[in-house]
Copies of this chain bind each other. A is one copy, B any other.
Amino acid sequence: MKEQSTVTPRTLPGFMELHPTEQVLFNQMKEKIQKSYERFGFLPLDTPVLELSEVLLAKAGGETEKQIYRFTKGNTDLAMRFDLTVPLAKFVAQNYGNLQFPFRRYQIGKVYRGEKPQKGRFREFYQADIDIIGDGELSLLNDAEIPSVIYTTFKELNLGDFTIHINNRKILNGFFESLNLAEISTDVLRVIDKIEKIGEENVRNELRELGVTVEAIDKIIAFISIDGNDSEKISKLESLEIVNPVFADGLFELKEVVKNIKLFGVPEDNFMIDLTIARGLDYYTGTVYETFLNDYKQIGSVCSGGRYDNLAGYYTDKALPGVGISIGLTRLFYQLNELKSINADKESISEVLVISMSEDISACISVATAFRKEGINTEIYMLNKKTKAKFKYADRLKIPYVAIIGEEEQRNGTVSLKNLATGEQNTVTVEEAVQLLKR
C-alpha cells in the first residue's frame, strides 16, 4: 500500500544542513576545538536550547530581541538561546555555591537568531565558547592565557598562519576621557574610522565640526597613527603623555598581558597589539581579542572575545568578572568550505570498505569484524552488485581502502587490500591488513 507523497521535503532557509561527506569535515573542526579547549582544563557545559524568556531576555533589547525565536507553550513564555553567554551567566548565578572558582567552562552548541537570510549568514549556528569566571576577582594572567588557547586551537585547525590582535578597551576609553570627549566618543570613532577613505584633512575638518579642539585633534591623529612592533606601539602610547587613570590602567594591563603571553608559549609572530580592534563592543571592559587568518583576511575575525567586569549582574549581586572567547564555527566552516580550504585529517568515516567477489559475503563479515575489533572503522558492502559499483561506492564516500575477498582470499584466509589513491594492491593476511590500515 503506497502512501501518497503530499509534502515537499525541504529545509528552512538560513539553516545549515550538510551532506555527510561535508559533515565529516565539520565534525573534525568541532572536535579539534573541543580537544584544544579541554587541553586547558575547561569544563564542559551543555545548557538547554530553550529557556524562560524572562530569564534569557533579562538583559537583551533592541536588535537582539527582534531576532529571538520566542513563543508560548501553555502558559510558559519560552525563547531559544541566541548565544552561550547568557545561559552561562544564568548557570553561574544559579549554581554559585556549588562551583569552584575560577570557573573555567567551554560550551559548543547551536544558537538561534532570526536574522535576514543572506549568503553566509545563518539562523541556526554553532558557537564554540570558553570563559573563565572569577569570584570577585580574576588575575590578569587569565587574560594572557586566553591567547595560548587561541594559538593551540588554530594550530590544530591547520588553517595556515594567523595573528591574534590584542587591545585594551580602557586605553581608548581613558584617552577620550582625558580629552573630555567621552560623551561624543561614538561620533569621534565614526569619523576617525573613515580616515583611509577620506584622508587626514577631511577627518580633521569633521572633528572640528564636532567641536573637538585643535590640540585634541592633534592627539587623536597621533593616537591613530601609532604603528610599529608591540614595544614601539607601547612607547608611542607612553609618549602621548595622557594623564588619566583609566588610560594608565589600560596601558598597564596591555603591557602585562603582552609580556605574559610569551610565557604561555605563543610565538611573537602569532600575536600583536592592535589599537583599532573591538571599538564597537560595549560588553568588554578590558583586554579584547580578535583573530585573523592571514591567508583569508577577507573573512574577518574568526575568534573574538575579551574581559568583562561582571558576567551576571541581572541575576545576582555577586561580582563575577570574566574573560572569554567565541568561535563562530558554522560561519567559519561555511566560508572555508566556499574557499575549498578545509584542511581535514580524513575525508571519510570508514577507513576501509570490505567487498566480496562472490555472492557469499560471510568471509567479508568475519574480516570486517576483525578490523572493527582492532578499532578500524569498517564498512561491508552487502549489495550483490557489479565490482565497479562497489568501488564507486567507496570512491563517492572517499573511503581510502577497499579490502577485496575473492575465492582465493577466502581459501587462504587473506585479503587483497587496495589503496584507492595510489592504486597499489597487496594480498596480505588479516593481521597484516590491520597493521597496514592502522598506519
Contact = CB atoms under 8 A, between A and B. Distances in A.
B91 A17 contact: yes
A11 B94 contact: yes
A93 B11 CA distance: 11
A265 B369 CA distance: 7
Interface string A95-114: 10010101011000010101
A23 B46 contact: yes
28 contacts: A2-B313, A5-B314, A5-B316, A5-B317, A6-B314, A7-B58, A7-B314, A8-B315, A9-B312, A11-B94, A12-B50, A12-B52, A15-B50, A17-B47, A21-B43, A23-B44, A41-B349, A41-B378, A49-B110, A50-B124, A71-B71, A71-B72, A100-B396, A104-B379, A141-B365, A263-B362, A263-B365, A265-B373
A434 interface: no
Interface in A37-81: 38-52, 54-55, 58, 69, 71-74, 76, 78
Interface string A8-26: 1111100111111101101
B315 A5 contact: yes
Given A114-B73, A313-B3, A369-B148, A48 B15 contact: yes
A375 interface: yes
Contacts of A3: 310, 313-314
A99 to B, nearest CB: 8
Specify how many copies of this chain sit in the oligomer.
2
Nearest to A399: B41
A264 interface: yes
A12 B112 CA distance: 18
B43 A23 contact: yes
Contacts of A93: 5, 9
A366 interface: yes
Contacts of A73: 69, 71, 114
Nearest to A98: B19
A111 B180 CA distance: 54
Contacts of A18: 46
A252 to B, nearest CB: 18
Interface in A302-339: 310, 312-317
Interface in A200-246: none
A270 interface: no
A24 B44 contact: yes
Interface of A: 2-3, 5-12, 15-21, 23-24, 26-27, 38-52, 54-55, 58, 69, 71-74, 76, 78, 89-91, 93-95, 98, 100, 102, 104-105, 110, 112, 114, 124, 139, 141-142, 145, 148, 152, 260, 263-265, 310, 312-317, 349-350, 353, 361-362, 365-366, 369, 372-373, 375-380, 382-383, 393, 396-397, 399
Nearest to A16: B48
A362 B256 CA distance: 13
The winner among A16, A369, A382 for most chain B CB atoms within 10 A is: A382
